[in-house]
Chain A
Amino acid sequence: MLADLLKGNIYFTDELPTWEESIKVAAAPLLSKRFITEDYVQDMIKNVQINGSYIVIAPGIAMPHAQNQGGVLKTGISFLKVENSVTYPEDKEVNILFVLAAEDSNGHLELISDLSSLLIDEDVMEQLKHANAEEEVISLINSLE
């Protein structure tokens, strides 16, 4: 499920000026496919402004998300890798982002479950950090299933 939802939502870039910008860029595929609205992007940024960097779920990896207050039209996920890491509040360096858009708190658990398998597999994560094409990311995810 994770691989299916990520297809076409995987992007790579070299550098971004701010963490706010990284969330905007990472969310752009979901925005253009009308999975989310501009409000949801703002909600995700606000979430970090208010609650700090708890969305940095593992060293180097952020999962921007927020509560769905109408900004999520369809459950989805997107991937962005930034070559030179971006600094989040509390001095956290991030170079991989998974933007999560969940319609409600239970409908996407299969997706979360796949994501969890991916993130706790250290070998796969190491390879992910060196991936630089969509096919590579997808085949890494598929290798888990």
Chain B
Amino acid sequence: MTNVANFEEHSHTPEKKPSVRAKIQAVGGFLTNMVLPNIGAFIAWGILTALFIPTGWIPNEQLGEIVGPAITYLLPLLLAYTGGRMVAGQRGAVMGAIGAIGLIVGSDIPMFLGAMIIGPLGGYVIKKFDQLIENRIPAGFEMIVNNFSIGILGFGLMIVSFLFIGPVIENVNDAMTSAIQALVQTGFLPLLSLVNEPAKVLFLNNVIDQGIYYPLGMQDTLEAGKSIFFTVASNPGPGLGLLLAFTLFGTKIARRTAPGAIVIHFLGGIHELYFPYVLMKPLTIIGMIAGGMSGIAVFSFFDAGLVAGPSPGSIFAYLALTPRGNFLGIISGVLVAAAVTFAVTSIILKLDKNTDDEADLTSSIAKSQSMKAEGKQLMNFAADTATTQEISKISFACDAGAGSSALGATTFRKKLQKKGISDIEVKHYRIEDVPESSDIIVVHKNLSDRARMAHGDKKIITIESYLNDPSLDELLDQLSKD
């Protein structure tokens, strides 16, 4: 009976479904765009770490000093900066970074997920504020208002995030520790992956390994000369599988960066290199858990273990710490884990890609439309907008973000005002600074490739003249009808 009721409930709200799906896709794209531009920094840090930490390949105390600050400050700040920038341009970027420093100092683990939340949040705060005071600043006071608004709001955000994060981390740590202890009690070790894999991606990997598993492992070693606990969270197999899947089935940029990440992760033992890829497509955590579980199951089946905690968790460290007679078990565990994660992640990425392809398809259709002769483009556009959602922000973009785009935005704003439309924000930006919140981007046809490269997922109108263009007239007509 309840099933029937549910079914009816769903069928009453059919128009809501696609928008939820579209939103989830948008969030996914947002995460990807926040992480991808910063992969290079992760790789730089990974190389540094693999080489110079005390257990690295050429330990160097002096150069090793960079490792800690880089992962604690540099990487989270970059993510927060990028996240803020996507929401509210350069001002959002500054707010995002200010907010993130509060989190970073307030916690004692690298704050990646937190930075990916506070960055866009900071951008959102300053965007709302800017909208509120838009057109109300007396001429000549723009600079002082702009700087002090970020200064004062940022100050608040910094304090709030600092005070907020400490207790949160503590609670997560406690919850995780007790969850792991309960799972160890059950005796069925593969279940540990349910906690391990999400915890690792949240950068708690050292906490769980050195805080929980290594002490358990050392007890075992005293009795049996080896322990499986050394392997439960440090297996490099699942990460290898994940990165291989991204290499073959990821987005274009992910495909190009993943192979480099494999070297640093699997050979260098720096697991952090695969974390951003999971953060980009959070669903792939399922692949990581499946792989981790299979790995532990195989280790258990062969009764395999390591003699000490492998740090860094590279395949070489694994082999070096494998006691005689355990090689088959350990190698199988790593390979099976990699294979399972690869298979599951590939499926997830492929399913995801189908929807991406749809989006690509629509954007390429839009592109081909915009390339047609002006007259035809108009008609296509009119048909297009008829089906689109409400439009609340139009961004004019040009190379410098100061001249033609400003002139275009100002002129268009005036035309809107004449039509009595006041709820649409029209602003001007440098192409690369156009915020994610824009519903429509207007750009000169000579710059359209650059705009598509930076904002391929957005609706882009190409024009011949920033001042007076048939496409803009059409847009104006469309908006005044709504």
Contact = CB atoms under 8 A, between A and B. Distances in A.
A70 interface: no
Given A67-B430, A112-B410, A119-B411, A104 B465 contact: no
A68 to B, nearest CB: 7
Interface residues of B, number: 27
Size class of the contact patch on chain A? 20 to 34
Given A51-B446, A109-B410, A113-B410, A67 B465 contact: no
A65 interface: yes
What does DSSP make chain B's interface, helix, strand, loop or mixed? mixed
A51 B447 contact: yes
A123 B311 CA distance: 77
B411 A105 contact: no
A120 B408 CA distance: 11
B407 A63 contact: yes
12 contacts: A51-B399, A54-B444, A54-B445, A54-B447, A55-B404, A57-B404, A57-B466, A65-B400, A66-B403, A106-B142, A119-B407, A120-B467
B406 A112 contact: yes
Most buried by B among A56, A57, A68, A119: A57
Contacts of B146: 106
Contact of B402 (A52, A58, A59, A65): A65
B139 interface: yes
B407 A115 contact: yes
Interface in B133-178: 139, 142-143, 146
B465 A58 contact: yes
A54 B444 CA distance: 6
Given A54-B398, A57-B466, A116 B403 contact: no
B467 A57 contact: yes
Interface of A: 47, 50-59, 63, 65-68, 100, 102, 104-110, 112-113, 115-117, 119-120
Interface in B389-436: 398-404, 406-407, 410-411, 414, 428-430
A68 B402 contact: yes
B394 to A, nearest CB: 15
B468 interface: yes
Interface of B: 139, 142-143, 146, 398-404, 406-407, 410-411, 414, 428-430, 444-447, 465-468
Nearest to A65: B403
Nearest to B447: A51
A109 to B, nearest CB: 7
A67 B401 contact: yes
Given A51-B447, A120-B468, A107 B143 contact: yes
Most buried by B among A51, A63, A104, A116: A116
B461 to A, nearest CB: 14
Nearest to B444: A54
B402 A102 contact: yes
B149 to A, nearest CB: 13
Nearest to B401: A105
A144 B400 CA distance: 28
B467 A105 contact: no
B468 A58 contact: yes
A68 B407 CA distance: 16
Contacts of A107: 142-143
A66 B414 contact: no
B92 to A, nearest CB: 15
Contacts of B411: 116, 119-120
B445 to A, nearest CB: 8
Closest 3 CB pairs of A and B: A67-B400, A65-B403, A54-B444
